[in-house]
Amino acid sequence: MPVLMELSRILIRELNDYQLIELREVDGDRAFPIVIGLPEAQAIERRLKGIEIKRPQTHELMAGIVESLGATLVSVTINDLSDHTFFATLDVRRMDGEMIHIDSRPSDAIALGIGADVPIFVEEHVLEEAQSEEV
């Protein structure tokens, strides 16, 4: 069963090749970091702060495409962890009501999810594995 999570922290160090975000369980104590790239971290931070930009960047473009097709981003789900790499889906409801799951990098999914104010879920087995990798 998926676990509801929230973005609890974003750590941007522009001199590094990687940045960190931390997801924390909404009704619990579990948390784990995800390594992401600088452009994705900046997009998440911009969306968290509500900073408007003149022209759409990749995540705004993706959100616009979903909306233009009459679909709705319902949630994002981090659904797998393999070889220290997280996998995610954009959970999108089409106009006909069908729910589709679009493969995505977690950083892109979270950037879109933050902008659309949708819930972030993590599959229980992913959360357990992420916890065991931290030790």
Q: pLDDT tens across 123-134, in order? A: 999 999 998 876
Q: pLDDT tens across 12-35, in order? A: 887 777 899 999 999 999 999 999
pLDDT over 70 for what percent of the chain? Answer: 98
Reply yes or no on whether the pLDDT at 56 is more than 90. no
Position 134 scores a pLDDT of 60
Q: What is the arithmetic mean of pLDDT over 62-90?
A: 95
DSSP 69-129: TT-EEEEEEEEEEETTEEEEEEEEE-TTS-EEEEEE-HHHHHHHHHHHT--EEEEHHHHHH
Reply yes or no on whether the pLDDT at 70 is more than 60. yes
What the block records as the tokens of 89 is 């889906």
Average pLDDT, the chain: 92
Length of the chain: 135
- The residues, ordered by sequence, that sit 6+ positions from 43 with a Cβ below 8 Å of its Cβ are 57, 58, 59, 111
Give the confidence band of 52 by pLDDT, cuts at 50, 70, 90. confident
What the block records as the tokens of 128 is 């357990």
What are the structural domains of the chain?
2-134 (3.10.690.10)
User: In terms of pLDDT, which residue wins out, 115 or 23?
Assistant: 23
Position 135 scores a pLDDT of 43
